[in-house]
């Protein structure tokens, strides 16, 4: 159930297979990290080998390639992700209902397909420019895309923590919520426009958070991950 637990996922946004596995080994051994995201940069450099290496370590893998193509192609890509044994993968909600239904049809109970709503690097002005509309409410648009994804049969959504509360209120448990753009309260936002702290994510009722540079770019990634875990525990205790 939402709010009972929040699972942290570490984004392996590094430049090589070796660097990724070195980081995984440190975080796994010293801090108990078990769930890792493989995105476009690492997958393009390392390919399916990185997924195989993580699965060999019995880690959960979030393959975040944000498929956005014709329905048949996306269905094939999701099926390939399922065959690799990943726990999660992503498609762009903007691909439309037919594409989302195709993705849902290619999924299995063991692989959660997430619809990406609006990237956390975008603000309302940027979305307005992209979509050619004078005024855009990010909350309204994220909720619209969330409903589209749920109606198409998908079981998860990627959104910012700033919209997660509304999605949870309106759609309940229809979608598992994954929130990127996690930053500590005393850190900068980098190139993200819509960020939240671990505690804010807990209050929003999300199921998973994705943390990248807050951990991977820290002087001590292990200490940063332990801080993240501690803030999540404290937030959950206060919600109890």
Q: Which positions are catalytic?
A: 66
Give dist(CA 162, CA 194) in Å, integer.
Answer: 7
Q: What is the CA radius of gyration of the chain?
A: 17
Per DSSP bridges, beta strands 156-158 and 112-116 are: parallel
CA angle at residue 28 from 25 to 30, to 5 degrees?
100
Give dist(CA 141, CA 157) in Å, integer.
Answer: 13
In the beta sheet, which residues pair with residue 18? Answer: none
Helix (H) or strand (E) holding 211: strand 208-211
Q: What is the DSSP string of 138-190?
A: HHHHHHHHHHHHHHTT--EEE--HHHHHHHHHHHTTSSEEEE--B--TTS--T
**Segments of 13-141 assigned E as strands:** 35-39, 60-67, 88-92, 112-116
In the beta sheet, which residues pair with residue 38? Answer: 63
- Residue 57 in contact with residue 35, Cβ under 8 Å? no
In the beta sheet, which residues pair with residue 22? Answer: none
Structure tokens at 153: 């049969």
């Amino acid at each position: 159930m939402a709010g009972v637990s929040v699972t942290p996922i570490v984004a392996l946004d590094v430049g090589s297979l070796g660097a990724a596995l070195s980081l995984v080994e440190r975080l796994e051994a010293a801090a108990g990290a078990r769930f890792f995201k493989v995105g476009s940069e690492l997958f393009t450099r390392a390919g399916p080998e990185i997924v195989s290496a993580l699965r060999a370590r019995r880690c959960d893998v979030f393959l975040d390639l944000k498929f956005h193509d014709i329905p048949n192609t996306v269905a094939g890509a999701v099926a390939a992700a399922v065959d690799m044994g990943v726990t999660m993968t992503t498609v762009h909600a903007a691909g439309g209902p037919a594409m989302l239904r195709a993705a849902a049809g290619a999924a299995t109970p063991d692989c959660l397909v997430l619809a990406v709503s609006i990237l956390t690097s975008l603000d309302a002005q940027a979305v307005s420019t992209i979509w050619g509309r004078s005024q855009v409410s990010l909350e309204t648009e994220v909720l619209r895309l969330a409903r589209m994804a749920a109606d198409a049969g998908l079981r998860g959504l990627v959104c910012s923590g700033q919209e997660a509360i509304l999605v949870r209120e309106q759609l309940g448990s229809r979608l598992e919520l994954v929130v990127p753009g996690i930053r500590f309260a005393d850190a900068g936002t980098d190139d993200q426009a819509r960020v939240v702290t671990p505690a804010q994510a807990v209050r929003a009722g999300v199921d998973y958070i994705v943390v990248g540079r807050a951990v991977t770019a820290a002087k001590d990634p292990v200490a940063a991950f332990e801080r993240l875990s501690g803030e999540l525990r404290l937030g959950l205790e206060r919600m109890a």
